Amino acid sequence: MQATTLKVSGIDVYAGGESGDATPPGHDEIVLSDTRRGIFRRLVLDGERLTSAALVGDVAAARRLTDLLRTGAAVPADLLESSAGPGADALAGDPAATVCSCNAVSVGDVQAAIRRDGLSTVAQVGRRTRATTGCGGCTSDVEALLEHEAAAART
């Protein structure tokens, strides 16, 4: 299984899984094209299992899609909807999950740095953990974790 996240002329692009333009017989294809928001998503499923994915513009779900491609687990319903980015609560709930695959930084690593060092910006998290300093595809996840931790601190 191969997966990659790129930035092409300032546009985030993710591709993972089996390659090919045509959807194999017996597979389902879910396509979202939103020209107003500048996003495109194509998921190909074999039953409940993800076999390939392409994201353009919004790659917030890339980490989760890569995990699904690697494990062969059933695709959760929220990834099949038009707002398929992970919520902060979902991210924060799994400290062992990888938030930055470029630098092998976990959600727990980011949370610990935010709490320990009182971090409040993506740049600060990047300096402490190296998250967001590779391809930048995890920036929205780090922003969500910062917001989640700030809200938790206020309560």
Q: Check which CATH number belongs to the domain holding 30 and give it.
A: 3.30.390.30
56 and 110 in a single domain? The answer is no
Considering 29, 63, 80, which residue would you say is the last residue of a domain?
80
Closest to 34 in 3D by CA, of 107, 68, 84:
84
C-beta neighbour count of 70 within 10 angstroms = 13
- d(Cα 69, Cα 12) in Å, to the nearest integer? 19
Same-domain check for residues 64 and 106: no
- Report the number of distinct structural domains present in the chain: 2
pLDDT in tens, 23-82: 888 899 988 887 877 888 999 999 999 999 998 888 878 888 988 999 999 998 888 876
Find the CATH number of the domain harbouring 100.
1.10.10.1100
Give the best-scoring range by mean pLDDT among 4-8, 38-42, 137-141. 38-42
Question: Containing domain of residue 150, as a range?
Answer: 88-154
Domain boundary residue, one of 46, 80, 114: 80
Percent of the chain with pLDDT over 70: 86
Q: Do the Cβ atoms of 5 and 13 come closer than 8 Å?
A: yes
Please tell me whether residues 47 and 112 are part of one structural domain. Answer: no
